[in-house]
Amino acid sequence: MKNILILTVLIGVNSYCQPVFKPLNNANSWQLGPFEKPASNPIMQADSTYTFNCPVQKRLVQWQKADVFNPAAVVRNGKVYILFRAEDVPGVGIGMRTSRIGLAESDDGIHFKKHPEPVLYPDSSSFMQYDHPGGCEDPRIVETPNGDYVVLYTSWNRDVARLSVATSPDLLHWKKQGPAFLHAYNGKFVNTWSKSGSVVTTLKDEKFVAATINGKYWMYWGEGPVYLATSTDLINWTPVTNDQQELLPILTARKKMFDSHVVEPGPPAVLTKKGIVLLYNGKNATTDDADPALPKGIYCGGQALFDAAHPEKLLERCNTYFIKPDLPHEISGQYTAGTTFIEGLVYFKQQYFLYYGTADSMVGVAIKK
C-alpha cells in the first residue's frame, strides 16, 4: 500500500464541537445521540451455571463465572446478537483469567438469551500461540457486503496483545484467520501491541455494513493513540505508516480532559453525510494530567469526525464525553475506577442501541430514540 503522510497529525485540529448531543441527521450536529440508559441495566451478568469442555485444559470450565462485559453487536434476521467477553476464574488480577467470547440473542435489544457455549476461545489450532492462556477478548463485529461476518478481537497470550480476525457465515461457527497484521510489511507489526479494531461501516437496509472508501476498507485501531489500517478483504490489514514505515497516530490523548491518558476505538465507525463518526473510549489519566472533574482512571465515551473521502483527516472532536459511568454497577466491579466501555452499536426498530462493558464486570445498554 502506498504510504500516507498524515499532515493533520503534525498541525493538529483547532476546532472542537460543543457538548450538545443531537441526532446525526440534524443539520447543526454531526454527533450521534443523545443516549439514555434504560432502567433495565445491567442487561447481562456473569453466570456460573454455564459450563464448557475446554479443548486446551481438557476439562469442564465455568467459562463465565467471573465476569461478562465488552460486547460487540449486530442485527441478523430481525434480532440483535451480542458477542460478549466472558472470564472464568474470579478473584485473580485483571488479565490473568482466560477470556472466551460468547453469543446472545434478543428480540427487543434489551433482554438476551445466551447460547450455552462460547463461540470463540483458545483451542489447539495454530493460533493457540496468540490466544492462550489469556484468551479471546473485546470483540468488534461487522457484516460484510455479501452477508458474512468479520470479528476483530484481541488475542491475549499474557505477553503481547494482538488484534486478530475471525470470520463466520452465521455468528455461531467461526474460522480464525490469525493476527490482522500478520502479513503486512513482511510481518513488521505482528508483535506490536494492538487492540480494538473499528471498521468503517455504512447504514444499509437498517444494518451497519462494512464500507469501502477509495476502493479499500478502513479500520481505526489501537490502545493509546488511535491508528489506521486498510484492507481489500477485511482479513489482511495494512497499517497506515509514513515513509519510514512508522505508525502514524491520528487521534491522541489530551491533557486535563476525559481522554487524558488513552484513546481507544469503540464500535465500528459510521460513514455519514457529515463524515466518518468514530465513537471511542477515553481513559482519564492517573497523574496530574487527569481531568480534575472526573475520577482518575475512569473510562468515558467520546466522538470524533473524520473526512469521508480521507479517513486519516480529523475534522472535529468533542471536548467532553457523551457517556460516562454513573450507575452503581458501572463504578464497582473488577475495574473499580469505572467504565462505560463502548464496543457495540446497532440500528434496530428505528432506534440506536449502544452496548458497553461496565467496570469489566457486566454489560450495559444506552438507547437513542
For residue 104, the domain's CATH number is 2.115.10.20
DSSP states of 195-241 as a string? ---EE-EEEETTEEEE-EETTEEEEEE-SBSBEEEEESSSSS-EE-B
**Residue 50 counted as domain residue:** yes
**Residue 122 counted as domain residue:** yes
- State the pTM of this model: 0.92
**Residue 361 counted as domain residue:** yes
Average pLDDT of span 45-59: 96
Range of the domain at 218: 16-368
Asked which of 11-25, 139-153, 208-222, 345-359 is least confident by mean pLDDT, the reply is: 11-25
Confidence of residue 220 (pLDDT cuts 50, 70, 90): very high
pLDDT at position 224 over 50? yes
**Residue 7 counted as domain residue:** no
Q: Residue 23: its pLDDT value, please?
A: 39
State percent of the chain over pLDDT 70: 92
Rounded CA gap, 114 and 104, in Å?
Answer: 4
Rounded CA gap, 212 and 262, in Å?
Answer: 28
| Total tally of structural domains belonging to the chain | 1
Residue-wise pLDDT tens digits, 108-159: 999 999 999 999 999 988 999 999 999 999 999 999 999 999 999 999 999 9
**Residue 1 counted as domain residue:** no
Question: Which is more confidently placed, 200 or 1?
Answer: 200
Rounded to 10 degrees, the C-alpha dihedral 211/300/85/172 comes to -30
Q: Residue 258: its pLDDT value, please?
A: 98
Rounded CA gap, 8 and 248, in Å?
Answer: 10
Average pLDDT of span 203-228: 97
**Residue 279 counted as domain residue:** yes
The C-alpha cell 480532559 sits at 257
Q: Residue 91: its pLDDT value, please?
A: 72
Rounded CA gap, 274 and 307, in Å?
Answer: 8
Residue-wise pLDDT tens digits, 324-367: 999 999 999 999 999 999 999 999 999 999 999 999 999 999 99
Rounded CA gap, 159 and 182, in Å?
Answer: 17
Confidence of residue 89 (pLDDT cuts 50, 70, 90): confident
